[in-house]
């Protein structure tokens, strides 16, 4: 039987942005052409936890890279956060905003008034990422939150990939405020399900597939929402994180880059070999014997070896720190 591609039967493709489509201003190799091919047979939508830009500016960026994207094709964490906010404070309330234009735009669009100062006695604080956020902004949030008002965060991603590398994300900034006030916010973005549910509701589709680059947000959120997922190794998480993934953060598919959306995805075959279990993907074979995970055959030494290694580690039924894993599996193909 011919192996199916990840896109077979999919009528709605949802893609994360940072680390999947682009890094900083630049497109990730093969992402644009792969997504354009995918769009020929299904609806494509874009989801982002990044709260620093408006949906319109994100759409413009994607279009400049060679995709055909309208603002309504982009679902942002500020949009989900404002919906949460509306359930916590009265319409038209004054809200202290810690964030950029993308967050301010959604707060104003929802009919709330914006302040940047705790001295104005806001009814709530809403916090999202923007590269210009500094100590003063976080301090204003802390001053306001000591009164016990609601606190909504767009997302809690610890890091964000940018052109120069990996930088602190909104989760790091939220943690700074948390340390000052001793409580946690209500969170709108991935891995919470609100963003996924909004996307499926907005775009329709009965068999969605989500693409992300982070296990702890993208893939965890998709699993919570009951959506099949692709982890693409062009952003934050790579071989080491894949092997160590908790059960609720494991993707349906693992791809080196988005070209793999169109390629047959090899099935994993498991065989007994005495007291050992063999996991074969393509030409790669990984052995699980007791608590030891070793390589019997590397195949082409690429992504199939990681897939087989993940199947063996995940199939062991214990956390990875209880296993002796061949170091070659941690190396990207």
In angstroms, the CA 332 to CA 52 distance is 31
- CATH architecture of structural domain 78-187: 3-Layer(aba) Sandwich (3.40)
**pLDDT at residue 150, rounded to an integer:** 98
| CATH topology classification for 12-49+191-262 | Rossmann fold (3.40.50)
CA distances from 190 to 64, 113, 305 (A): 26, 26, 29
Whole-number pLDDT of residue 332:
61
pLDDT on residue 44 = 98
Active-site annotation holds for 16: yes
pLDDT, tens only, 151-165: 999 999 888 877 788
Reply yes or no on whether the pLDDT at 73 is more than 90. yes
pLDDT at 176 over 70: yes
User: Quick one: pLDDT band at residue 1, thresholds 50, 70, 90?
Assistant: very low
List 3, 8, 18, 257, catalytic entry = 18
Instruction: Annotate 191-228 with DSSP letters as a single string.
Output: TSSHHHHHHHHHH--SSEEEEES-IIIIIHHHHHTT-E
Residue 331 has pLDDT above 80, yes or no: no
CB neighbour list of residue 227: distance below 8 Å, 6 or more residues apart = 14, 196, 200, 208, 209, 210
Residue in 3, 11, 16, 137 annotated catalytic: 16
Averaged over 38-48, what is the pLDDT?
A: 95
Supply the mean pLDDT for the chain.
94
Q: Is 134 exposed, middle or buried (0-12, 13-18, 19+ CB in 10 A)?
A: exposed
Q: Hey, do 12-49+191-262 and 78-187 end up sharing a CATH topology, with the first three levels equal?
A: yes
The b/e string for 23-49 (b: 16+ C-beta within 10 A; e otherwise) is beeebbebbbebbeebeeebbbbbbbb
Residue 12 pLDDT greater than 90, yes or no = yes
pTM for the structure as a whole: 0.87
Domain range annotation of the chain: 12-49+191-262, 78-187, 269-330
- Percentage with pLDDT > 90 across the chain: 83
């Amino acid at each position: 039987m011919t192996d199916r591609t990840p896109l077979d039967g999919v009528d709605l493709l949802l893609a994360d942005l940072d680390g999947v489509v682009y890094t900083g201003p630049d497109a990730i190799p093969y992402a644009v052409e792969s997504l354009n091919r995918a769009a020929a047979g299904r609806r494509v939508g874009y989801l982002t936890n990044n709260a620093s830009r408006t949906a319109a500016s994100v759409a413009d960026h994607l279009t400049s890279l060679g995709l055909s994207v309208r603002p309504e094709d982009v679902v942002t964490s500020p949009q989900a956060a404002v919906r949460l906010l509306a359930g916590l404070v009265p319409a038209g309330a004054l809200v202290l905003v810690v964030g950029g234009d993308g967050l301010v735009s959604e707060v104003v669009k929802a009919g709330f008034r914006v302040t940047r100062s705790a001295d104005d006695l806001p009814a709530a604080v809403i916090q999202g990422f923007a590269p210009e956020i500094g100590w003063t902004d976080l301090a204003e949030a802390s001053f306001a939150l000591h009164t016990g008002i609601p606190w909504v965060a767009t997302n809690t991603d610890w890091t964000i990939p940018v052109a120069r590398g990996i930088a602190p994300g909104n989760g790091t900034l939220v943690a700074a405020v948390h340390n000052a006030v001793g409580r946690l916010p209500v969170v709108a973005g991935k891995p919470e399900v609100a963003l996924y549910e909004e996307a499926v509701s907005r775009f329709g589709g009965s068999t969605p597939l989500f693409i992300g680059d982070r296990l702890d947000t993208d893939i965890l959120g998709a699993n919570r929402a009951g959506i099949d997922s692709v982890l693409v190794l062009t952003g934050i998480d790579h071989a080491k994180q894949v092997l160590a993934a908790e059960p609720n953060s494991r993707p349906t598919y693992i791809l080196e880059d988005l070209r793999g959306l169109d390629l047959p995805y090899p099935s994993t075959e498991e065989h007994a070999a005495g007291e050992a279990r063999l996991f074969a993907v393509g030409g790669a074979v990984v052995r699980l014997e007791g608590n030891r995970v070793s390589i019997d055959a590397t195949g082409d030494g690429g992504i199939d070896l990681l897939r087989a290694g993940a199947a063996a580690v995940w199939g062991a039924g214990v956390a990875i720190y209880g296993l002796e894993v061949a170091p070659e599996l941690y190396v990207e193909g």
